[in-house]
Amino acid sequence: MPEPITSPPADEKNLRWYQGLERYCWLVLVIAALGWLFDTMDQNLFNLVRRPSVVDLLRPHYLNDPAGLDAKAKSVAGILTSVFLIGWSVGGFLFGIIGDRLGRAKTMIVTILIYAVFTGLSGVASNWYIYALFRFLTALGVGGEFAAGASLVAETFPSRSRPMALGSLQALSAVGNMMAAIITLIISSGMGGLDTHWRWAYFVGALPAVLVFWIAKDVREPEAWRRAKEQASVDKELGSIGQLFDHPILRRHTIAGVLLATAGVGGLWGVGFFSPDMLNTELRASGMKATQIGNYTSIMYFVQQVGAFLGCYAFAMFTERTSRRLAFTIGYALSWVSVLAFFWAIQGAGTHAFGRAMILAPIMGFCTLGPFSGFTIYFPELFPTRLRATGCGFCYNAARVLAAAAPFVLGALAAKLGGYAQAATVVTFIYVLGFLGAFLGPETRGRGLPEDIDIERDRARGFPVMTVPTTEPE
C-alpha cells in the first residue's frame, strides 16, 4: 500500500479541523464511517419493520383475537428490542477486548461480517423465538464495530481534528438510519406493504459484507496501538476490563461513561426509536390502509434521522466551543422534553398523527441522537491507548445491559396502560443518569488522548482530573 501523502502547513493553529490532513486520515474516516453507517442501517431496518414483522409472525396464533394480537405484539416488540440491546452489549464487551488485543482493523472486519450475515438471516425467521436469536447474533457484530471504528479514527487523526472527525463519524450514522427508511419506503410502496414483505428489508441489509474487502486491503493498525502492543506487560495489559477499575481515576471515568451512555441508549432505544410503532398504532386505529401506513412511517422516520444528522453535528460543534460536560447536561434535558412532546402529541391524534409527527420527529431526532456524537468524541479521551477500545466498548455496552430493561418496560407498560405516551413518561426518567454522569466525568476539552496514568502523582493530587501525557499520530 502506498504511503500517505503529507503536506502540513507551517502554522496548524490557524487551520480548520479538516485542513492540512493526510490523505490516509480521510481514507480511515470514510471506511470507519461506512462501517458504522451500514451498522446503523441494519439496526434501524429492525426498528422500521419491528411491528409489521412481529404481527406477521404472531398472526397465525391470534386469527380471531385482534385485540390480543395487538397487546402481544407490543410486548414481543419490547422483548425483541431488549434482546437486541443485550446482544449488542455482549458483542461490545467481547470485541472491545479483541479490538485492543487483535487490532482495530481486524476487529472491524469480523464484526461487519457478523452483523451483515445475521441481518440477512433475520429475513428467514419462521417464529419470533428464532427471530430473537438472529437479532441477538446480529447485535454481537453491531456492538463490536463501534469501539473498533471509533478507536481507529481517534488514533489516526491529530488532536486538533479528532473531535470533529469523531463527530462526523457519528453524524454519518444518521445517513444509515435514512437509508433504512428509504429501503422500507421502497418495499412498502413498490412491493405492496411491509406487512407481508418485511423480510426483503433484511435481505438488503446483508450487502455491507462486501466492505470488509476494502478494509483488509487499505487500512493498517494505528501507530499508537502498535506501540502499546510492543510495550504491553503484566501490569499494563492490552484489553483488560479489570484494569478499567484498578486505578481510581479510570474507575471514575468508566462509571461516568457508563451513566452517560445508559441515559442515551435507554432514552433512544427504550423510547425514541419506538416512534414508528407509535405512528403505526395511531394510524391503524384511524382506519388507514396498511400500505399507506408503511409509507407514512418510513417518511416520518426519514425526517427523524435528518434531524439526528443535524443534531450530531450541532452537538459536536457545541461541545468543542463550550465543554463536554455542559453539552451532555443540556443535550439530555432537551432529549427528555422532545421525547415526551412527540409521544403525547401523537397519542389520540388519529388522522392528524402523521402531520404532527412530521414536525416533532426531526426535533426528537435532533435532541436524542446528538449526545451519541458526544460518546464518540468523549469516550476515547477517557482511556489510555492500551485500554481505549476496551474502555469505549465497556462504557457503551455496559449501558446497553442496564438500558435493556427500558424497551421491555415500555412495551409492557404500553400494553397495560393502553398507550405509548404513558409508558414513555415513566421510561424517560432514565435521563437522570445522564445528568449524574456529566457531573462525575472529567472535562477533557482541549486535551490530547491520554497515554498512561502516573498513579503516585495522581494519588498525591487527590484524583481531581485526569492530567496525563498525550500521544499524537506521527
Give the mean pLDDT of 251-265: 92
Please compute, for residue 367, the number of CA atoms within 13 A of its CA located in the half-sphere on the CB side: 23
Q: What confidence tier does 449 reach under pLDDT thresholds 50, 70, 90? A: low
Distance CA 348, CA 285 (A): 9
Q: What confidence tier does 464 reach under pLDDT thresholds 50, 70, 90? A: very low
* Phi and psi at residue 355, to the nearest 5°: -60, -45
pLDDT the model gives residue 340: 95
Three cell numbers at 202? 433484511
Give the DSSP letter of residue 13. G
> pLDDT, tens digit, for every residue of 23-74?
888 888 888 888 888 888 888 888 888 888 888 899 888 888 887 888 888 8
Give the mean pLDDT of 115-142: 90
* DSSP reduced 3-state for 73: helix
454: nearest Cα among 472, 471, 469: 469
- The pLDDT of residue 472 is above 80: no
> pLDDT, tens digit, for every residue of 259-315?
999 999 889 888 888 888 889 888 888 888 878 888 888 899 889 989 988 998 899
378: nearest Cα among 152, 150, 85: 150
Distance CA 348, CA 283 (A): 10
Distance CA 240, CA 47 (A): 33
- The single-letter code of the amino acid at 357 is A
- The pLDDT of residue 433 is above 90: yes
- Residues in a beta bridge with 203: none
Q: Which CATH number is 22-224+237-471 given?
A: 1.20.1250.20
- Residues in a beta bridge with 450: 470
In Å, what is the CA distance from 45 to each residue of 146, 175, 274, 300, 320?
18, 13, 13, 14, 32
Give the mean pLDDT of 378-395: 80
Angle at 303 between CA 432 and CA 352, to 5 degrees: 90
76: nearest Cα among 94, 89, 62, 64: 62
* DSSP reduced 3-state for 465: coil
Distance CA 305, CA 325 (A): 25
- The pLDDT of residue 469 is above 80: no
> pLDDT, tens digit, for every residue of 8-17?
444 556 777 7
Q: What confidence tier does 19 reach under pLDDT thresholds 50, 70, 90? A: confident
pLDDT the model gives residue 94: 81
In Å, what is the CA distance from 140 to each residue of 43, 79, 201, 289, 386?
12, 17, 19, 36, 22
35: nearest Cα among 152, 161, 155: 152
Q: Which residue has the cell 476515547?
A: 380
pLDDT the model gives residue 192: 62
- The pLDDT of residue 367 is above 90: yes
Distance CA 440, CA 328 (A): 12
Least confident range from 91-100, 222-231, 318-327: namely 222-231
- The pLDDT of residue 470 is above 90: no
pLDDT the model gives residue 12: 58
Distance CA 139, CA 118 (A): 9
pLDDT the model gives residue 236: 53
pLDDT the model gives residue 257: 93
Least confident range from 167-171, 175-179, 224-228, 382-386: namely 224-228
Three cell numbers at 97? 477486548
Q: What confidence tier does 167 reach under pLDDT thresholds 50, 70, 90? A: confident
| Burial 446-466, CB ≥16 within 10 A → b, else e | eebbbbebeeeebeeeebeeb
253: nearest Cα among 404, 89, 380, 160: 380
Distance CA 130, CA 462 (A): 52
pLDDT the model gives residue 107: 85
Distance CA 122, CA 133 (A): 9
Residue ranges covered by each domain of the chain: 22-224+237-471
Please compute, for residue 410, the number of CA atoms within 13 A of its CA located in the half-sphere on the CB side: 32
Query: By the 8 A CB rule, do 391 and 243 touch?
Result: no
In Å, what is the CA distance from 347 to each residue of 49, 295, 361?
20, 19, 14
pLDDT the model gives residue 357: 93
Distance CA 64, CA 461 (A): 70
